[in-house]
Chain A
Amino acid sequence: GAVVSQHPSWVICKSGTSVKIECRSLDFQATTMFWYRQFPKQSLMLMATSNEGSKATYEQGVEKDKFLINHASLTLSTLTVTSAHPEDSSFYICSARSGGLAGGPDTDTQYFGPGTRLTVL
């Protein structure tokens, strides 16, 4: 239980294009999803917190208009990197936290997706 998927697992795009990354909770309903960015050999940096049906809360220094987050349902959140540039190349990881429904995973734990490697040429 508590499986989170991400799609695609890797993507290469040209500078100036937009890329959408999907994060799905496969066997539980996630009222809260988180998006992280990880540079090589570094820790995870929280980009934003998204709650189903409401606007995402972005961390300081993260451009809202560049990293568009949509949490349209209890099992799906998307991150769109708009007008991507080489400096946006990174490993993007999502996580999901249960809303506490009966039979679901613990509400105090984030479950992580496998990550998406973005390379912008």
Chain B
Amino acid sequence: AQSVTQLGSHVSVSEGALVLLRCNYSSSVPPYLFWYVQYPNQGLQLLLKYTTGATLVKGINGFEAEFKKSETSFHLTKPSAHMSDAAEYFCAVSGPGSARQLTFGSGTQLTVLP
């Protein structure tokens, strides 16, 4: 079984400040990890993913995440927040087998203050 925990359902940062969204996972097999962003009334857009190889993963819009196996974490960061980053962010882990179903965290709403 797999699970994802996102610490902090709401995070507020000032424009230009560091963004840090936390994600911890549990998996009995080597995980595939994803971060998606959702804007209001829209579907999910892939920000970045980790499958194998380099543990620091760079994504779109200046976001990056680091896979830390020892900490079972995959935190999302961005050095400088923009107003357009305000959205809901979901961390997800992919299951084993050919279906590769996703298990999502509960989401973190990011607010960017002017």
Q: Which residues of A contact B (CB under 8 A)?
A: 4, 6, 32, 34, 42-44, 46, 49, 57, 91, 93, 95, 97, 108-115, 117
Contacts and interface: CB of A to CB of B under 8 A. Distances in A.
Interface stretch (B21-29, B39-47, B64-72, B77-85): B39-47
Contact of B94 (A6, A42, A108): A108
A97 B90 contact: no
Contact of A6 (B43, B90, B102, B105): B43
Interface of B: 32, 34, 36, 41-46, 49, 51, 90, 94, 98-102, 104-107
B46 A43 contact: no
B49 A109 contact: yes
Contacts of B102: 34, 46, 95, 110
Interface centre among B32, B44, B98, B106 (most CB of A within 10 A): B44
A117 B42 CA distance: 10
B100 A97 contact: yes
Contacts, number: 51
A21 B60 CA distance: 30
Contact of B99 (A43, A49, A93): A49
A115 B43 contact: yes
Q: Which 3 A-B pairs give the minimum distances between C-beta atoms?
A: A112-B43, A112-B44, A114-B43
Nearest to A111: B46
A112 B42 CA distance: 10
Nearest to B109: A41
Contact of A108 (B36, B45, B100): B100
Contact of A49 (B41, B42, B101): B101
Nearest to B103: A46
B110 to A, nearest CB: 14
Nearest to B9: A41
Given A57-B99, A112-B44, A112-B45, 17 more contacts: A6-B43, A42-B107, A43-B105, A44-B90, A46-B101, A49-B99, A49-B101, A93-B43, A97-B100, A108-B94, A109-B34, A111-B46, A112-B43, A113-B43, A114-B42, A115-B42, A117-B41
Nearest to B99: A49
10 contacts: A43-B106, A43-B107, A44-B90, A46-B101, A93-B43, A108-B49, A109-B46, A109-B49, A112-B43, A115-B42
